[in-house]
Structures are given as C-alpha cells and as structure tokens.
C-alpha cells in the first residue's frame, strides 16, 4: 500500500524518497513499531545557550496559579527585543511541552521587571 502511494506521488510530483523521518520543524521524531515520540531536546539546549540560561535556578511546573505575578519596581530594565525573543522561543517550545503553556502565557502578558511573590 505504501509503495503504491509512493509511486502515485512520484508520478504527480517531482520528489525524492527520504529515509525515516528524524526531525521536522525543529521537533525530533523517534519512531518505534507502534509509537511515535516528538521531542525538542536539541531546541531546549539551543534556547538555554542563546539566552545564557544554562546555570539558572530551575522551577517546578506547572506553576502555582494562585500566586499572582507582580512587577518588581526595583529591578533593572530588560531589552524589549530580548524579552520578546525569549517569550517567542518558549511559545514554540510549548508544542511539545504543554506543561509550560500557562507560565509562558502569563509571562508574555507582563512586561519587564517581573518577579513572583
């Protein structure tokens, strides 16, 4: 059945046969007999390196929704472009990590000087 489909596609479109899919749009794809796993380990390491987060203190997820995020008036300003880039990188990461969706969306609604009480 797959070979017939492949032949039909070759007739209709100019294409080449590829090996087993290992990555797609930044997602690592691991295929087993009856399972497909998606991950972004490589992307996570790239983001951590890009924003120098390799040595920062980690936090548990999901975030406590009862604690409001507050603006820290004493904190230094951050670069708006850098902040947006961080949020965008994390938003893309939520495609394989839905557990971080709430905190990323909460942080994206705030601007700069952010801390949690």
Question: How do the pLDDT tens digits run along the chain, 117 residues long?
Answer: 667 877 888 888 877 767 777 887 878 888 888 888 888 888 888 988 998 888 877 777 666 667 777 766 777 777 778 888 988 998 988 888 888 888 888 777 776 544 444
What are the CA-CA distances from residue 69 to residues 65, 89, 97, 117 (Å)? 9, 20, 21, 7
């Amino acid at each position: 059945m797959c070979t017939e489909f492949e032949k039909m596609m070759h007739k209709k479109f100019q294409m080449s046969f590829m090996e087993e899919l290992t990555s797609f749009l930044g997602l690592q794809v691991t295929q087993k007999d009856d399972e497909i796993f998606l991950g972004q380990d490589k992307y996570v390491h790239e983001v951590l390196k890009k924003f120098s987060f390799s040595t920062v203190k980690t936090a548990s997820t999901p975030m406590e929704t009862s604690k409001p995020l507050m603006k820290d008036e004493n904190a230094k300003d951050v670069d708006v472009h850098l902040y947006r880039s961080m949020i965008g990188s994390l938003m893309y990461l939520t495609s394989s990590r839905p557990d971080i969706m709430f905190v990323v969306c909460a942080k994206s609604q705030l601007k700069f000087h952010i801390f949690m009480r």
